[in-house]
Chain A
Amino acid sequence: MESVSDAAPRALEGIRVCDLTGQLAGAGATRYLAALGADVIRVEDPVRQGRWDILRGAPPYRDDRRGVDVGGAFNNHNVGKRGITIDLRQAEGRELLTELIAVSDVLTENFSAGVMDRLGFTPDEVKRINPQIVYVSQCGFGHSGPYRDFKTWGPVVQAFCGLAALSGLPGEPPAGWGMSLMDHVGADFMTIAVLAALVQREVTGLGQWIDVACTEAGVTMLGPALLDWTVNGHDTPIGELHSNHSVSPAMVPHNVYGTCEDDTWVALACRDDHEWGALSDLTGVPDDGLTAATLSERLASQDVIDEHISAWVSTRSAHEVVKSLRSIGVPVALVARPSDRIRDDDDLREWNLWPSVTHPILGTVDVDGLPVHFDVTDWDIFRPAPCLGEHTDEVLSSVLGKSRAEIESLRGRKVI
């Protein structure tokens, strides 16, 4: 399939990625590189049909068909990549991977710590094969330390790094995040590691090995709450925290309120006295002596203000609340369901946030786009995720220079 774009240069043109990642935390990283023009060659295991990546063949499904090539999540996370199979248990398979590393700019993997070492691809060995290569390894706890061999998954990273405990309401257990936030963000940090090392390589001509620990990346996302403990010895315990309120920066009101419609909510906040003045005029300040002109007064009366706003919102539709608050310049948003933001949001469609790819089995399906636009070298997502081994012959021939007979021989010996 050809790109729909014209011949404009691609941002990462000429960058070849030998990609052993999987799941979202790894595959999400190389997905970005592919969208910006890198040639990402995903290497998978023919013996287990690529199922080391638990998303290969996993739900959601389009219809009743099942199999390694019809998983909706896998398709979303692997658009734009080429896919090949190599059995790394075999010496010949490892030799093929060595050849691919030798002609690549980037090597990425997110196996458990130690797997690449056991296969023989230690950082030193990879550097010996190709001194220019940027080699980025990612796992939950990194490649050293007492938890080196422990395993994670997005919500477990979030629990460990403190992000899950930053989410909740008073009198309740932690609410967590309702999604694998740290699979996304772990992938983002992996991408940053790749890109920053490529920037440095332009100066030095040399590659390097980088150890990404998703749990540590997560701790860097805690923000000022961490300093509040290390500097002040202050922490708000689980069960007392109200994360729909905001203490940094302090704002009142700042909350999620229920509308008159079933399970339909709006979020709103006043950043300053002026916005509170406009909101209190709109909603009618209760006539019981509430003094709330300044932030310190509003902080002291937060519960009363929440009750007041809550009562006002509860008799109105979300559409009415959002429209009213927008008209007075107060930050407001519908708590958007998937349909609100994917099906019904014209701005996001206009941004091309949900491009389509045409998969040979799934057919045409929407996928995530990128929340960024470059005015010259913009991203492009047009190729679906590879079916298992879809590009093995093509890559072995055009990248590694193997003849048809050599490829057939490798296939006959189940190396590919």
Chain B
Amino acid sequence: MPSMLEGVRVVEFASDVAALAGKMLAELGAEVLLVEPPGGHRSRRYGPLARDLPDGNNSLWWHYYATSKSSIVADVDQPDDRAALHSIIESADVVIEADDPGVLGAAGISRESFSSVNPRLVWLSVTPFGSGSSRSADPAVDLTLLAAGGAVWNCGYDDHSKPPVRGGGNQAYHIASVWAVKAVLTALLARRALGGKGQHVEVNAAAAVNVTTEQATYFWHVAQATVQRQTCRHAHANPTQSPLVVCGDGGYAHSGVLPRRRREFVEILRWLDELHIGIEDFPDRVFLEMALEHEVVDISRAPYDDEVAAIMSAAREAFVVIASRMPDAQAFFVRGQQAGLTCSPVNTVPTIVEDPHLRARDFFVSAPVGESQTFEYPGAPFVAKSAPWRLAHSAPVIGDQVTNWRGWDSER
């Protein structure tokens, strides 16, 4: 079955920030050739390590981001390697550069050098702050990009003596990579309007984080309001109630969107009844019953309508009481969602991997690694049945032979 990006050839100079972009393009069907410096890219040594084994092929970072890619080692400072790279790029559709802005250009490898031999080429640069920025030469890591981009300001706890929090998983790199993929695909499509010509595209990682901060940004745009961080919920200009609840086994759940409609209040009251939580156990129940007098409770009135404020507060408190009587977060989630209440367990990696819905959708995929191992990975970010996403193979190890790239002699 054909893949979406079949026939698209991508040369990716290895980096931390755009590693996910290359993986996404590869798994949508593009041929992605990773170019590493002598000794392999530094990320081959990033932890965690498979089974804590230190040798060069056990980085789970590498195993995550380099799936479905081929890899070559080339030294851009060596004339022979430079010539080989030129030959490869002459037949490529896309080049991705993200590490150390300027290094490739200094070695004579730039989009300009291919404008006549490969005018169709799309050249993508991912930079931390923009190539024209006063910070263009500053080093950056995921943490500092999330901080500069506003994500860290949004995140943390009600108690502001605790520092703001950088969410984990290197999401600044992921956000930049997702934008990189959008940009590459757009430039490929734009070749039609440009008579087949490619162009240079630049993604600014800090700017990408900036426009991924939702209401923190548009509350400023519209009302010059500054949001403040709160525990596990939207940073907001005015304090809101916590949606976080603790279930019978101590696990966390998210009680989701506040109920507004009569049928939602009916369901919460039914749930309280089911758990034998009467007015004596939960005196605020009376406010939930008051909500039944409205078809829809206008929650925007809460700041100046005492009744609405009391109803909203009682709804959150009801979830706290209900959760404490449910065996665990999964039971809370399923019972709540079946009643039309938008809630969730706060899943951790172990619980997400076992989730019955993801298993029923065959979300996770496996691939052999070396001769004796099989790793399990996340699968498709979306399902396209007529052109499926696929994890072609596990990450390349140093020394894997690349034979199918025009211009690259694997026996070199």
Contacts and interface: CB of A to CB of B under 8 A. Distances in A.
A33 to B, nearest CB: 9
Given A11-B189, A159-B346, A225-B349, A348 B210 contact: yes
A351 B155 contact: no
A338 B227 contact: yes
A396 B16 CA distance: 48
Contacts of A190: 382
B396 interface: no
Contacts of B107: none
Interface string B205-232: 1111011111111111111111101111
Interface stretch (B82-90, B172-180, B402-410): B172-180
Given A73-B215, A174-B244, A179-B234, A147 B48 contact: no
B185 A175 contact: no
A248 B353 contact: no
Contacts of A184: 175, 211-212, 214
A163 B221 CA distance: 27
Interface stretch (A90-98, A114-122, A235-243, A403-411): A235-243
Interface in A91-109: none
Nearest to B343: A156
Interface residues of A, number: 160
Given A10-B193, A176-B155, A368-B211, A351 B130 contact: yes
Contacts of A199: 4-5, 8, 185, 188-189
A24 B384 contact: no
A60 B51 contact: no
A79 to B, nearest CB: 11
B274 interface: no
B210 A347 contact: no
A212 B382 CA distance: 4
Contacts of A151: 337, 340, 342
B183 A219 contact: no
A330 interface: yes
A228 B377 CA distance: 10
Nearest to A175: B165
A52 interface: no
Interface string B28-50: 10000000000000010011101
Contacts of B252: 165, 173-174, 238
B48 A247 contact: yes
Interface in A214-261: 215-217, 219-232, 234-235, 237-238, 241, 243-244, 246-251, 254-258
Contact of B148 (A200, A209, A341, A371): A341
Contacts of A174: 232, 244, 252, 346
A336 B148 contact: yes
Contact of B377 (A230, A256, A343): A230
B215 A185 contact: no
B116 interface: no
A266 B148 CA distance: 9
Contact of A162 (B179, B352, B383): B352
Nearest to B207: A371
B341 to A, nearest CB: 8
B384 A197 contact: yes
Main secondary structure of the interface of A (DSSP, over half): mixed
A347 B131 CA distance: 10
B361 A142 contact: yes
A155 B254 contact: yes
Interface stretch (B56-64, B70-78, B281-289, B305-313): B56-64
B399 interface: no
Interface size class of B (residues with CB under 8 A): 35 or more
B269 interface: no
Given A142-B383, A160-B344, A161-B347, A169 B162 contact: yes
B223 A72 contact: yes
B193 to A, nearest CB: 4
A377 B60 contact: no
Q: Chain A CB within 10 Å — which of B3, B138, B145, B345 has the most?
A: B138
Nearest to A223: B169
Contact of B217 (A231, A238, A342): A342
Contact of A146 (B145, B155, B356, B383): B356
B132 interface: yes
B134 interface: yes
Contact of A231 (B6, B50, B226): B50
A249 B197 contact: no
Interface in B348-382: 348-353, 356-358, 360-361, 363-364, 375-382
B401 interface: no
Contacts of A203: 2, 6-7
Given A36-B186, A198-B189, A227-B375, 15 more contacts: A13-B193, A146-B356, A167-B165, A173-B252, A178-B154, A178-B155, A184-B175, A188-B182, A195-B189, A216-B380, A232-B60, A246-B141, A267-B146, A338-B227, A371-B179
30 contacts: A59-B300, A60-B219, A60-B225, A76-B222, A153-B257, A157-B344, A175-B157, A176-B231, A179-B212, A179-B214, A199-B5, A219-B352, A220-B381, A222-B349, A227-B48, A229-B353, A231-B50, A246-B143, A248-B170, A256-B163, A265-B147, A265-B152, A331-B139, A333-B143, A336-B150, A341-B149, A351-B204, A351-B207, A373-B204, A377-B186
7 smallest A-B Cβ distances: which pairs?
Answer: A178-B154, A72-B222, A371-B207, A167-B167, A195-B185, A166-B168, A267-B147
